[in-house]
Structure 1
Amino acid sequence: MKAKENEILLIYNSEKYEDRKAKGYADTMKDHALNERDISKNNLTETQIAEIARDMNVDMSVLIDKNSDTYLHHLKDKGFAEAELTKLMVKNPDLIKTPIAYIGSRAFFVGSAYDFVNADFDIEGVRSKKGNVFEKKSD
């Protein structure tokens, strides 16, 4: 998976509040179109999940959301091979740790608007003087 030039590909779960916030941050980016992929409505394939792990240079287990109900009630303290984890994530998209942003071929987890700022994007209200001075990172 890759984002086109001047595009952000955001993989998120609209059923998660933090993911909806990240989508809001991505919507405010200047000069970049948002291409969103809501995994609560359109599941990723095994190939796409494997590609995300490869693009992020992480083991499949890193893509598991350790706070999801499915993980906590059915998978915690159990060992699974990567192929099994991939199949579980296809069937249970809430298991996928999101949001994930692609900017070009670079992929990363989005924790806050500052993750976009660190990727050198100007988000109105985050770098501008309109942002909350107590939330801004010092340069």
Structure 2
Amino acid sequence: MKVSKNEILFIYDSSDMQQREGLAYIKSLKHYEVKELDVTKDEMTQLQLSNLATRLAVSDKELMRTDKESHFSEVMNLDGHDFLDYLASNLEMLKTPIAVYSDRAKFVDSQYELIKEDGVNSTSDVQTSRTMKQREEG
């Protein structure tokens, strides 16, 4: 799960309309190339899931959705390796969407938050009269 400095890996569930809309929003970001991982079509290994939990600063079990599983308590009683094996085999149970950057990852609460962050992290080429005046004086 290698993500370069100017990339975002967007992990999402394409069966969810809001998450598909989120992907469209993220693809519009100016400062990042977007890679996507669809939990309904793609695969992740146990090691990748474990690394993802580390990047998110959560336990492995916090990666799992709690709204879809009928035998949730049985799954949560599995030990670390067996739990990750279950999650890798049932990737649609991964809590999504997730944005993975080169140095961190985060659960995405709103598709708008990444656009807002992109604007904050960007450098503007627009010069205001104030910045032009400061350059003339400096």
Please show how residues 108-123 of structure 1 align to structure 2 within 5 Å.
108-117=106-115, 120-122=117-119
The 5 A counterparts of 1:5-84 are 5-68=5-68, 71=69, 73-76=70-73, 79-84=77-82
What TM-score do you get using the length of structure 1 for normalisation? 0.76
Normalised to the residue count of structure 2, the TM-score between the two structures is 0.76
Return 5+ residue gaps in structure 1 as ranges. Answer: 124-139
Q: Are the equivalent residues in 1 in contact too, given 2:25–2:115 (CA < 8 A)?
A: no
Query: What does residue 136 of structure 1 align with?
Result: none
Equivalenced residue count is 119
SS in 2 for 1:44: coil
Deviation at 1:18, TM superposition (A): 2.8
Partner SS, residue 15 of structure 1: coil
- Structure 2 unpaired stretches of 5+: 121-138
- Partner of 1:89 in structure 2? 87
Q: Aligned runs of 1:98-117 on 2, under 5 Å? A: 98-117=96-115
Over the aligned positions, Cα root-mean-square deviation in angstroms equals: 2.0
How far apart are residue 48 of structure 1 and its match? 0.5
Q: CA deviation at 1:49?
A: 0.4
